[in-house]
């Protein structure tokens, strides 16, 4: 009788848990035989970060704290509470993965607790028999892991940012004082004193850079309005200057192999400088005495790639895929300062520019060290005949979006490049305006009140080539491209009639590059 009551209780807990609530009664019964109840007293450790992930846990009663170790430099190590798991919630999700992985955090009972433990290996065997059950569980697991990681990052960022803000003011005062002494405003100093003071200032700048990265880890705030034309050569020179003191102190040579006439990029100069400074400081940090750190550039038709290469200790192959993760510090970085966030922040900044970043170790050309590269979109320059008006002034673009801020930002961005911009807040308003003027490009959101983008496209397909002029369409929407294409094809039995599709959020350089590419294509068609 007792075993029967226990079985019913376990099935009830499984059915009400975050992962298994969609399963049928039979599937719950199949899972119930794979679990066991485990008691833990307050302060007991369920597992440590790095332990082999054998069990998924569901809290039956009590609470469990998930903790992560934060390392700032070689000595400072703190345990930060990332989340508290309460009854009905699950943790230890790596145990459900087919590949044998390790727990990424430690789990500690914060009061007397009883857990339901599901054997990961037995779950995989059950998946082989019931693929539908496995698919349902993994779908819920993806949502759970995404929410948990987002919460963990925000929690860590909040804890660190409180301290970081208080550190900035006194450090800035110290740097100002050093500048006064180095400038000779309070008396002359000898060469040895100057060398020590320059080195001290560099270390403080390193610390300020680490603080900036800490504040940026949860969210990179880059407003589209702050994007402007910047000279990459100037950004590279400034970044090299940022690490010059560190390089001199370590006797590491800095080499700039980029041309002075690099293309102009539409981006955020301060943020791109932050990326390069992060990459350069990392390279100097892990390059031994008399080594070399260099910067090079390679241009392609639509992109430019900037690479930072060093002759340092390199990155082990098993760590290479994780170096852009938040707070990741590999074994080779144990003796180096830093919080393991510079590369993570750099990745967020580059992606906000519509680019990508990657690493190779060793460098394929030299067989030494590490090469970290990032690519950015080049915005095409319009070629116009002498004496003709600028082609951009002739281009008319209509932006249709029900989000007033998005509508404003997109319009300002396009206007900054010389286009004439019309705006509409829904599909019906757009069609009303299209009765009087035909733009060169329609930038269209998909989900809007009154009339959505799908209906606009249906109506335009019946009246395209009005007055002999084709309207090119770029979709700019939070709806996934595949979902939009599938819906339109189901409703019309026709492919989505568009020229390009961009998913929000989109970086300004990418939007401008796509707009100009379509305009160039349209002009070529007119001349042929």
Would strands 76-85 and 35-40 be described as parallel, antiparallel, or unpaired?
A: unpaired
Predicted local confidence at residue 425, as pLDDT: 93
Predicted local confidence at residue 172, as pLDDT: 66
Cα→Cα distances 49→101, 121, 444, Å: 11, 19, 47
DSSP-derived letter for residue 263 is P
What's the CATH code, domain 2-137?
Answer: 2.60.120.10
Contacts of residue 351, defined as CB under 8 A and 6 or more positions apart, other chains included, come to: 357, 507
**136 phi, psi to nearest 5 deg:** -60, -45
Pick the CATH number of 391-527 from 3.30.450.30, 3.90.180.10, 1.10.10.10, 3.40.50.2300: 3.40.50.2300
For the chain (length 528 residues), average pLDDT per consecutive 10?
A: 70 85 88 92 92 92 86 56 86 83 89 93 90 84 72 59 59 73 81 84 73 58 66 87 84 91 83 90 90 93 90 87 71 49 84 88 86 83 43 78 84 85 93 88 92 91 63 88 85 90 77 86 76
Cα(517)–Cα(301) distance, rounded to whole angstroms? 12
Strand order in the sheet with 356-360: 253-256, 292-299, 303-310, 371-377, 356-360
Would strands 113-119 and 35-40 be described as parallel, antiparallel, or unpaired?
A: antiparallel
Would strands 472-477 and 500-503 be described as parallel, antiparallel, or unpaired?
A: parallel
Contact 81, 67 (CB under 8 A): yes
Cα(269)–Cα(481) distance, rounded to whole angstroms? 31
By C-alpha distance, which of 288, 306, 325 is closest to 372?
A: 306
Predicted local confidence at residue 1, as pLDDT: 45
Contacts of residue 162, defined as CB under 8 A and 6 or more positions apart, other chains included, come to: none
Collapsing DSSP to helix, strand or coil, 163 comes out as: helix
Residue 449 exposed, middle or buried by CB count within 10 Å (0-12, 13-18, 19+): exposed
Predicted local confidence at residue 365, as pLDDT: 83
* Model confidence pTM above 0.75: no
By C-alpha distance, which of 185, 51, 63 is closest to 114?
A: 63
Cα→Cα distances 273→16, 221, 234, 238, Å: 50, 15, 9, 7
Predicted local confidence at residue 108, as pLDDT: 95
Find the length of the chain.
528
H/E stretch holding 516 reads: helix 508-527
Cα(304)–Cα(376) distance, rounded to whole angstroms? 6
Q: What are the structural domain ranges in the chain?
A: 2-137, 223-377, 391-527
Predicted local confidence at residue 46, as pLDDT: 95
Instruction: Look at the domain 223-377 and name its fold.
Output: Heat Shock Protein 90 (3.30.565)
How many CA atoms lie within 13 Å of 183's alpha carbon, on the beta-carbon side? 7
């Amino acid at each position: 009788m007792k075993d029967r009551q226990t079985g019913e209780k376990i099935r009830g807990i499984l059915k009400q848990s975050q992962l298994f609530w969609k399963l049928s009664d039979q599937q719950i019964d199949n899972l119930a035989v794979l679990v066991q109840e485990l008691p833990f007293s307050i302060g007991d450790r369920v597992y440590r970060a790095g332990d082999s992930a054998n069990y998924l846990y569901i809290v039956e009663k009590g609470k469990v704290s998930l903790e992560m170790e934060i390392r700032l430099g070689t000595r400072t190590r703190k345990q930060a509470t990332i989340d508290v798991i309460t009854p009905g919630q699950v943790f230890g999700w790596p145990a459900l993965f087919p590949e044998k992985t390790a727990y990424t955090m430690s789990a500690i009972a914060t009061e007397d607790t009883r857990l339901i433990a599901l054997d990961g290996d037995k779950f995989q065997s059950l998946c082989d028999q019931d693929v539908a059950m496995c698919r349902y569980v993994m779908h819920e697991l993806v949502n759970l892991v995404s929410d948990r990681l987002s919460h963990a990052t925000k929690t860590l960022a909040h804890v660190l940012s409180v301290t970081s803000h208080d550190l900035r003011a006194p450090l800035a005062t110290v740097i100002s004082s050093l500048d006064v002494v180095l400038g000779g405003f309070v008396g002359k100093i000898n060469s040895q004193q100057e060398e020590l003071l320059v080195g001290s200032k560099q270390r403080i700048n390193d610390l300020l850079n680490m603080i900036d990265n800490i504040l940026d880890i949860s969210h990179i705030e880059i407003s589209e309005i702050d994007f402007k034309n910047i000279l990459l050569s100037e950004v590279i020179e400034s970044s090299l200057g940022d690490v010059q003191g560190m390089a001199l102190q370590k006797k590491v040579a800095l080499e700039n192999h980029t041309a002075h006439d690099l293309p102009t990029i539409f981006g955020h100069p301060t943020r791109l400088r932050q990326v390069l400074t992060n990459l350069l400081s990392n390279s100097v940090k892990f390059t031994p005495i008399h080594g070399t750190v260099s910067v090079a550039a390679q241009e392609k038709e639509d992109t430019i790639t900037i690479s930072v290469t060093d002759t340092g200790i390199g990155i082990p192959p098993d760590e290479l895929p994780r170096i852009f993760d938040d707070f990741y510090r590999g074994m080779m970085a144990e003796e180096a300062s830093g919080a393991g966030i510079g590369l993570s922040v750099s990745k967020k900044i580059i992606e906000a520019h519509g680019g990508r970043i990657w690493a190779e170790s060793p460098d394929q050309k030299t067989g030494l060290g590490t090469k970290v590269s990032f690519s950015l979109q080049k915005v095409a320059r319009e070629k116009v005949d002498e004496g003709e008006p600028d082609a951009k002034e002739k281009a008319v673009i209509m932006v249709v979006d029900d989000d007033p801020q998005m509508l404003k930002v997109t319009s300002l961005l396009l206007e900054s490049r010389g286009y004439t911009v019309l705006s509409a807040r829904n599909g019906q308003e757009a069609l009303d305006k299209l009765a009087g003027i035909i733009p060169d490009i329609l930038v269209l959101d998909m989900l809007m009140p009154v009339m959505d983008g799908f209906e606009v496209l249906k109506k335009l397909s019946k009246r395209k080539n009005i007055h002999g002029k084709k309207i090119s369409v770029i979709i700019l929407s939070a709806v996934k491209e595949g979902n939009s294409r599938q819906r339109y094809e189901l409703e019309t039995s026709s492919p989505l009639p568009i020229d390009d599709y961009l998913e929000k959020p989109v970086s300004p350089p990418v939007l401008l590059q796509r707009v100009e590419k379509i305009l160039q294509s349209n002009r070529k068609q007119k001349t042929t």
